[in-house]
Every structure is written in C-alpha cells, then in structure tokens.
C-alpha cells in the first residue's frame, strides 16, 4: 500500500553546531540520532511514551538565546524552532551531568556483570564505559535485595540490578495492556513490583526481558545459560502462528538457547509473544525421531534412508493416494507436497487444513483470500475493524498488538462478534456483539462498513455455516477488506502453494483449463495428467481411506486430534507414509516414518496471514535432518516422476514463477446461515499457551497459561444451580469432561471451553465443534 504521508510542519534546530530539520513533535534525542549523534539513554524507547526516568540523556538546551538553567532530559523535550542543543560532545556541563547520573546509577548497581545474563549486550555496561567516570567515589555499602524473585514462572527479577527506567512497566501498560507490574516503594527502596495476588501472567512478558536495559529482568529458561558472545545469531521467522514475527534465534553448541523478537516495523515492530519467544524446546526433546522407521510384522524398526525411500516408493506406486499437509509446513515444503500430489501421485486429494474445516471455507479461500494483499498497515489506516470468529490476543497476538496500538493512538473503533466478551476484547475497547456460536453470520449482516474497514476473520468461522458467506457479502456490499487470519504459520503459504484440493499453485482454480495448462507447462508434464475435478478435503480423505477408496496416504506433520472425530480406520488399512518430528497418533499407525527437520534446522519461508513472504535461514548449524521437500524429491525420484528440485532454493525459484496468477479467481456461492442448535451450545477455541505439540518441555512457559475453566454466564449458572468455582460436567455422545466454572460475560445458554488446554481438550474429548448442542450438569 502506498499511503500518502500527511504533510507535517518542519522544525529546524541546531545540535552540536549542525542544523537539522525534523517534523514537529520530534524529541531532541531522535533529532540528534538523525545527525548520528548518540546521546546515552536507558528509559527512552522509540515505541514507548517518553518518561524521563533515568536522566541519563541530559543535554544543554537554549531557545532563541535563552538557556535552560539546568541540563534537560533530551528524551522528553520536543524540538522547537531556533533551539540550540549542546550534547555531551560539545558541552562540558552536559558531559559532567551525564557522568554524574551514571555514577549515581552505579552506586546501587551490583557488580554482577561477570555472571549476569545481560553482560556483553548490556546498555548500562556499554554506556558506563562510554559515558561514565572511570572510578566511583562511593565507599558505602550497596543496597541489596533478595534475588531473584519470580514475578511470573518465566520472568525473574533481580531488584538490585534495576535502574528504575520503567521500560517494563510502560510496555506492560501501554503496549500489552497488562498492567500487572508497577513501581512500588520510594526512594532508594523503589522497585518493580507485582500485585500481591496477580502474578505477571501476560502473553507478552518476554518483551520486558528484552527491553530491560540492565539484567534486572531475566527469562528463567535462559538464565545463566550463556553469554551473548558465545551465541551465533540467525535472523529467523516464528513458526508458532500466522502473525509472521521476525525473530532472532541464538544458538550455542548446536542448541537453540533463546529467541528474541526481531525488529520489523511493518510486521511485529519490536515485539513478539511469549510462545514465539520461549517455545523452542520441542526440537530438542529426547523422543525426536532420529532415523527412518519401517513397519515390519506390526512394529516399527529402524532402517536406512535408501531402504526406507524404496519401501515408501513401493507402497505409493500405482495406488490412489491422498496427501495431508500439516499447517506448519513452510511455503517451499507445501509447494513440494502440492507438486508431489499432482505431478507424482496424480491426485488432487490434498489438503493443508488439519483442523475443522468446511467446503464453504475452501471456496471462500479460493475466491477471497488467495492472492489478497491485506496488510498490517491496513489496520493502521482502517476506520473500523471487525473481529469475527477470532480472539486476537489468543489466536494471533501481533494482530492484537497492532489493533491495540491504533485503539490507543486514534481510538480506532473495533467490533467483536463473539459469544464471550474476553479480556482481550475489553483491552481493545471493542464494541461487543454477543452472538451464540453459529449465528455470527446474522450479526455480520447487520453491520455497515466502508471501504476503509477491515474484517478480520479467524479460521474457526468455518465452523459456523454461512459465516464466511456473510463476510463475503459484507465485503462486497461495503468494499471492506477481508483479513483471513489462520492460526498456524504455514496455512497461508500452503494455500498459495496449492496444497488444497481446489487450487493449483498461485491460487489457480483447478477447474480452469488455462490454469492447468499453465502449471503443467511449468512442471513439464502433460496438461491432461492433472485431474480436472477438485480433490477431497482432509476429512473426506480420511473417510475415503476408511472406505478403501484411497489406498495410500502421505501425511506430513498432522495431529489427527486437531480434527474433530477423526476416522482412524483408514490409517489402519491404507499404506501410510508419515513425515514427522516426534511420535504421534499417525506414526503409531504409519507404515513408513521419515524424520524431518524442524524449522530451526532448515531454511525456507512462511507466509504471514497478510500473504507476506517471510524467509529465514537455517539457525542450527549441524543437523542430521532434511526438510520435507528434499525427502519428497527422493521419493518422487524413486517413483520415476521427479519433482525437479531438491533444495529449498530450487523449490522457491520454481514456485516464484507460479506464485502470481492474473486469471480469474474461483467463484464463491453463498451458503445460508444455519439454524441455531437448541439447548446449551458449545463455544470453544484455542488459547495461546496450551497443550500444543510445539510447546512440549516448556514448564516455565506453561506456568503462565490460562487456567482451564468452563465459562458460563450468571443466567445459565442460576439455571444449573452452580456458583463460581463449582465443578460442572459437559458431555456429548462422544465423551465428557469436567471443569470448574468461572462466571463470565457470555451470551445465554453457551458454555465456553478451552479447545486444547492440558486439562480440557474439548475437540478430542467431546468430538463436537462450535455451535453444537452439549449437555451440561452440576458436579461430576
């Protein structure tokens, strides 16, 4: 998008004898940066509001010949015409003031540097060297506190190291909206504190560790693990959700030790969520599959690669096959799966949606999502954001931060259509339209939007029949933009790469003869070898395998329990080739299991929900594992129909020639909104921190997950005769689960359950989707 920058007033001032012209409202410290003059600072952060807490950035300022009587904090003073600023470089007074402030800061700062996590990348350490006095005149005893204290299970606080810059408290208040930490006490005893009963359970707490300019806040997972100069850093991309955060992965001795948020102003700014920051142990768990496995006499045994490839190729040869791609594949891997299905196996039965899905959704994706270019910047310029089937804080935290930023900055109006008014919606000051699950479509039809509005659609809206149709209709009527935000990092890329039954790479409709010719030419295969009819979706592929119509399955990174009521019969009868990291319900039944590389062990790219390509390089230098696409290329070669590439670069290059399609998109036919179910209905979605398979082995992270509770409103509670904290049991024909009740702001006759919490996997245990009728009773 090319937004026209609004014309702003310009102001000219002099800093250290150099003239600089900057927009009105710029702070002196930023104006100095434009000249390359670095004024030391701790509390100042470009994305937080100025506070002037640390006093390290003192400079001498005069305006039109009248000088300030004392040095001023340059991080709080906006520029003025005719201002003359003298920094430490030209003013002895400023220099002495900065040295004095530094000496004061160091009076109570312990000499932990040799063992402190921050040592080596510490702004205090660095600036004590550049702007401090060589020696301290302090001879007293330093103030000490007990250290460290856990302010949450994953953030530790060493109070004596703190210099009270208030970066962490400002971040929590302003950016995350979780004001769980604040300054307590006074004078020398002032310290960052948590409220007695509320730990610092924010989804964004990791950012405070990163922006802490000293080592006062440290992450428990990284504490004392390494020093910055031991680490090899690789810019990478987060694989946990579709937000597309830029990250930095730090590796030591071939092990990932930490991940930090990268600085990408267009996407995640400088932030990320705790899951992206602290969930990476899954690549290093003991039960990673290390070698290829072949099933022999009912048990899996280790095999060599050539043997396993031969057995896999033999099992797939000449059979009608289906391909299931988990939502975490990179764009290149998805493209390899898409090409493998069409060119090697000759089938359109491929689907990346290893989660609840519908035909309506598939048509919607083909018509309205693939190739769309709605960006984060559209949220920045939107006049109205509608959230439907989507809880941004839980399901795409960076989208949440971006909307919240605009809400704070310019009171962006947000409408949330949901059965439960969550804390996240309240933090967005959203207009809450409470609807029973399944009835989102009716509420959407009531809205009026403009072409500046953005409708943010979550993947679970497909569970409400007619919901996506209502979104399409609303967008058509008003010209509003549709932002489809899936949960998983690979879904948008897999859609673009054609890992779905009705689309070829680049969003080419399978029904379009020109599209098939186009793709066949690029793949150098006969154009009539690509099947003309749309393939089955994930559920239908499992069902067809159970009926014996599909005789071979290629499954990459799918957990069948992510789908509702999965049919395992097909897995027993068909030949199953599984490409996996760790043992799963699929590998237990697979005939050949091939280990694949995790994200840190390969290069590639993801596509964020915007459709923005986010490339990353291999972070872990030595790994025995190979990416999915390399393994698929070996199997394709053994089957005599090679893919034509075996490297990420090769796949990316070939996909690049197919990524854009200027022909017609698939058409979309509206589905009617289904009638609401009778009785108590279920509402359920995944929370950010839950029982996800990429969050294994992270006890510190799991400590800040939300407690699993059943949420109902007071009306339903009265009907059931339960109070807050009482046990209720929710059951269906499939199963039952019992949880404690928490009274919440829900619509009538709806019970909300976490979909994949450790104690409550509503999908797996109840086997029903949103809007389904459930039985609820008091007690066990």
In the complex, minimum distance from the CB of residue 118 to other proteins, in angstroms, rounded to a whole number: 14
Q: Which stretch binds other proteins (CB under 8 A): 188-196, 224-232, 297-305, 666-674?
A: 224-232
Q: 227 or 641: whose CB is closer to other proteins? A: 227
Residue closer to other proteins by CB (options 156, 494) is 156
Cβ neighbour number for residue 479 with a 10 Å cutoff? 12
- Among 133, 227, 319, 423, indicate the residue that binds other proteins (CB under 8 A): 227
What tokens appear for 718 in the block?
Answer: 């009265």
Phi then psi dihedrals of residue 30, to 5 deg: -75, -40
Place of tokens 């569970």: 463
**Looking at beta carbons only, is 518 or 698 nearer to other proteins?**
698
In this complex, which beta carbon is closest to other proteins, that of residue 110 or of residue 371? 110
151 or 417: CB nearest other proteins: 151
**Nearest approach, Cβ of 224 to other proteins (angstroms)?**
5
Mode of pairing for the β-strands spanning 710-712 and 736-743: parallel
Q: How far is the CB of 619 from other proteins (least distance, A)?
A: 21
CB 222 within 8 A of CB 255: no
- Stretch near other proteins under the rule CB under 8 A, chosen from 194-202, 223-231, 567-575, 730-738: 223-231
Nearer to other proteins, 158 or 591 (CB): 158
* DSSP alpha helix (H) spans, 340-381: 359-364, 376-381
Closer residue to other proteins in complex, CB, 92/121: 121
Please report, for residues 41, 117, 509, the alpha-carbon distance to residue 108 in angstroms, rounded to integers and kept in the order given. 18, 18, 67
- Taking CB under 8 A as the binding criterion, the range among 55-63, 121-129, 220-228, 374-382 that sits at the site for other proteins is 220-228
With contact defined as beta carbons under 8 Å apart, do 424 and 400 qualify? yes
Asked if 65 touches other proteins (CB under 8 A), the answer is no
Min. distance of Cβ 343 from other proteins in angstroms?
48
Write down the least CB distance from residue 143 to other proteins, Å. 15
Report the residue from 1, 67, 115, 718 that binds other proteins according to the rule CB under 8 A. 115
Report yes or no: 55 and 100 within 8 Å, Cβ to Cβ: no
**Which two tokens mark 631?**
């393994």
Total site size for other proteins, rule CB under 8 A: 7
Smallest separation, CB 114 to other proteins (Å) = 6
Q: From the CB of 399, what's the least distance to other proteins, in Å?
A: 36
SS3 234: strand
Cβ at position 125, least distance to other proteins in Å: 15
Q: Cα–Cα distance between 417 and 425 in angstroms, integer?
A: 10
Nearest to other proteins of 223, 288 (CB atom): 223
CA–CA distance from 770 to each of 251, 463, 564, 726, 747 (Å)?
41, 6, 11, 23, 14
Please state, in angstroms and rounded to a whole number, the distance separating the CA atoms of residues 619 and 430: 40
Min dist. Cβ of residue 226 to other proteins (A): 8
Distance of closest approach, residue 148 Cβ to other proteins, in angstroms: 8
Do residues 621 and 254 lie in contact, with contact meaning Cβ atoms separated by under 8 Å?
Answer: yes
Per-residue binding letters, 368-407, with other proteins (x by CB under 8 A): ----------------------------------------
| Residue 461 DSSP SS3 | helix
Contact between 87 and 39 (Cβ < 8 Å): yes
Q: Which CB sits closer to other proteins, 120 or 179?
A: 120
Residue that is written with structure tokens 């991309």 in the block: 237
Tell me how far, at minimum, the Cβ of 581 lies from other proteins, in Å. 25
Q: Is 253 buried (19+), middle (13-18) or exposed (0-12) by CB count in 10 A?
A: exposed
Residue by residue, DSSP assigns 622-680 as --S---HHHHHHHHHHHTT---S--SHHHHHHHHHHHS---SPPPP----PPPPPPSSS
Give 114 or 298: the residue with its C-beta nearer to other proteins.
114
Cβ-based nearer residue to other proteins, 394 or 698: 698
User: Strand, helix or coil at 572?
Assistant: helix
224 binds other proteins (CB under 8 A): yes
Residues 557-596, mask of contacts with other proteins (x by CB under 8 A): ----------------------------------------
Residues 595-654 touching other proteins, rule: CB under 8 A, are: none
Cα 355 from Cα 461, distance rounded (Å): 12
Site string for other proteins, 180-219 (x = CB under 8 A): ----------------------------------------
Least distance from C-beta 757 to other proteins, angstroms? 27
Beta strand 321-325 pairing with 350-351: parallel
Nearer residue to other proteins within complex by CB, 6 or 114: 114
Write the CB contacts of 9 (distance below 8 Å, at least 6 apart in sequence): 23, 24
Going by the DSSP 8-state scheme, the letter that residue 430 receives in this structure is: P
Site string for other proteins, 129-148 (x = CB under 8 A): -------------------x
d(Cα 257, Cα 249) in Å, to the nearest integer?
8
Distances (CA, A) of 140 to 107, 129, 136, 143, 158: 9, 22, 11, 9, 21
CB of 700 to other proteins, least distance (A): 11
Residue with smaller CB distance to other proteins, 207 or 220: 220
Quick one: DSSP state of residue 111?
A: S
| Closest listed residue to residue 485, CA positions, set 355, 413, 392 | 392
- Minimum Å distance from CB 222 to other proteins? 12
Q: Does 18 bind other proteins (CB under 8 A)?
A: no
Collapsed DSSP state (helix, strand, coil) of residue 410: helix
Q: Quick one: CA torsion of 526, 531, 534, 539, rounded to 10 degrees?
A: -120
Q: Give CA–CA dist 190/570, Å, rounded.
A: 64
Residue among 197 and 286 whose Cβ is closer to other proteins:
286
State in angstroms the smallest separation of the CB of 142 from other proteins: 14
Specify the stretch interacting with other proteins by CB under 8 A; choose among 222-230, 420-428, 474-482, 623-631: 222-230
Query: Please, which residue, 121 or 266, has the CB nearer to other proteins?
Result: 121
Residue 141 CB, nearest distance to other proteins (Å)? 14
Query: Which of 242, 235, 234, 456 is closest to 328 using CA atoms?
Result: 242
Nearest distance, CB of residue 115 and other proteins, angstroms: 5
Q: In angstroms, how far is CA 495 from the centroid of its own chain?
A: 18
**Closer residue to other proteins in complex, CB, 227/319:** 227
Closest CB to other proteins among residues 145, 568: 145
Q: Which two tokens stand for residue 217?
A: 């806040």
Stretch 85-114 residues interacting with other proteins (CB under 8 A): 114
Beta-carbon count within 10 A of 185 CB: 11
Among 96, 173, 223, 408, binds other proteins (CB under 8 A): 223
Q: Per-residue x/- mask for other proteins, residues 426 to 465, rule CB under 8 A? A: ----------------------------------------
Q: How many residues does the chain have?
A: 780
Enumerate residues 156-185 that contact other proteins by CB under 8 A: none
Nearest residue to 384 via CA among 460, 457, 451: 451
Q: How far is the CB of 454 from other proteins (least distance, A)?
A: 46
Give the nearer residue to other proteins in terms of CB position, either 133 or 225.
225
Are 183 and 166 in contact by the 8 Å Cβ rule? The answer is yes
Q: CA of 718: how far to CAs of 596, 722, 749, in Å?
A: 52, 6, 11
Residues in touch with other proteins (CB under 8 A): 114-115, 148, 223-225, 227
């Amino acid at each position: 998008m090319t937004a026209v920058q609004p014309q702003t007033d310009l102001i000219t001032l002099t800093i250290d004898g150099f003239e600089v012209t900057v927009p009105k409202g710029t702070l002196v410290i930023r104006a100095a940066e434009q000249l390359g003059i670095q004024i030391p600072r701790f509390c100042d952060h470009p994305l937080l509001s100025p506070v002037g807490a640390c006093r390290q950035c003192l400079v001498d300022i005069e305006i039109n010949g009248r000088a300030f009587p004392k040095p001023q904090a340059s991080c709080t003073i906006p520029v003025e015409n005719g201002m003359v600023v003298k920094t430490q470089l030209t003013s002895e007074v400023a220099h002495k003031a900065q040295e004095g402030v530094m000496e004061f800061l160091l009076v109570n700062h312990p000499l932990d540097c040799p063992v402190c996590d921050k040592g080596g990348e510490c702004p205090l350490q660095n600036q004590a060297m550049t702007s401090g006095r060589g020696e301290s005149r302090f001879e007293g005893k330093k103030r000490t506190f007990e250290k460290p204290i856990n302010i949450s299970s994953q953030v530790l606080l060493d109070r004596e190291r703190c210099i009270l810059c208030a970066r962490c408290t400002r971040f929590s208040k302003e950016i995350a909206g979780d004001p769980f930490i604040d300054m307590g006490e006074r004078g020398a005893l002032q310290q960052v504190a948590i409220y007695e009963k509320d730990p610092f359970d924010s989804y964004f707490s990791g950012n405070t560790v990163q922006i802490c300019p000293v080592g006062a806040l440290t992450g428990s997972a990284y504490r004392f693990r390494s020093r910055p100069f031991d680490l090899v850093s690789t810019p990478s991309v987060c694989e946990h959700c579709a937000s597309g955060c830029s990250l930095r992965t730090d590796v030591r001795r071939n092990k990932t030790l930490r991940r930090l948020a990268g600085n990408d102003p267009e996407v995640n700014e400088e932030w990320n969520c705790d899951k992206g920051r602290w969930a990476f142990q899954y690549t290093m768990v003991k039960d990673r599959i290390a070698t290829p496995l072949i099933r022999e006499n009912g048990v899996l045994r280790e095999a060599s690669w050539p043997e396993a490839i031969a057995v896999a190729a033999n099992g797939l040869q000449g059979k009608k096959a289906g391909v299931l791609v988990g939502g975490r594949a990179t764009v290149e891997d998805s493209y390899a799966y898409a090409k493998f299905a069409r060119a090697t196996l000759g089938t359109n039965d491929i689907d990346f949606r290893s989660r609840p899905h519908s035909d309506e959704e598939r048509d919607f994706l083909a018509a309205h999502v693939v190739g769309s270019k709605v960006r984060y910047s559209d949220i920045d310029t939107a006049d109205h954001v509608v959230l439907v089937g989507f809880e941004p804080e839980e399901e795409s935290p960076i989208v949440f931060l971006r909307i919240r930023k605009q809400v704070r900055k310019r009171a962006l109006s947000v409408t949330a259509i949901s059965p439960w008014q969550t804390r996240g919606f309240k933090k967005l000051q959203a207009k809450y339209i409470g609807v029973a699950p399944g009835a989102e479509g009716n509420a959407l039809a009531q809205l009026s939007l403009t072409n500046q509005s953005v409708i943010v659609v979550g993947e679970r809206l497909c569970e409400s029949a007619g919901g996506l149709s209502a979104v399409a209709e609303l967008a058509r009527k008003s010209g509003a933009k549709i932002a489809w935000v899936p949960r998983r990092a690979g879904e948008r890329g897999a859609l673009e790469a054609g890992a779905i039954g009705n689309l070829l790479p680049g969003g080419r409709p399978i029904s379009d003869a020109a599209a098939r010719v186009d793709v066949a030419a690029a793949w150098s295969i006969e154009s009539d070898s690509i099947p003309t009819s749309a393939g089955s979706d994930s559920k239908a592929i499992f069902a067809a395998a159970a009926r014996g119509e599909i005789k071979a399955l290629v499954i990459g990174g799918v957990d069948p329990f992510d789908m509702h009521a999965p049919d395992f019969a097909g897995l027993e009868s068909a030949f199953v080739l599984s490409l996996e990291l760790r043992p799963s319900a699929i590998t237990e039944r697979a005939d050949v299991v091939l280990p694949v590389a995790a994200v840190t062990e390969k290069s590639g790219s993801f596509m964020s929900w915007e459709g923005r390509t986010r490339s990353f390089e291999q972070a872990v230098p030595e790994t025995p594992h190979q990416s999915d696409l390399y393994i698929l290329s070996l199997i394709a070669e053994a089957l005599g129909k090679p893919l034509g590439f075996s490297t990420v670069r090769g796949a990316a290059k070939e996909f690049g020639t197919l990524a854009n399609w200027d022909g017609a998109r698939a058409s979309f036919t509206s589905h009617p909104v289904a009638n609401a179910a009778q009785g108590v209905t279920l509402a359920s979605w995944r929370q950010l921190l839950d029982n996800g398979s990429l969050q294994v082995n992270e006890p510190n992270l799991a400590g800040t997950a939300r407690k699993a509770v059943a949420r109902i409103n007071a009306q339903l509670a009265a009907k059931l005769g339960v109070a807050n904290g009482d046990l209720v049991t929710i059951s269906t024909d499939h199963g039952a689960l019992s949880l404690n009740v928490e009274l919440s702001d829900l619509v009538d006759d709806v019970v909300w359950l976490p979909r994949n919490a450790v104690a409550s996997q509503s999908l797996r245990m109840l086997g029903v989707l949103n809007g389904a009728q459930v039985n609820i009773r008091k007690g066990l």
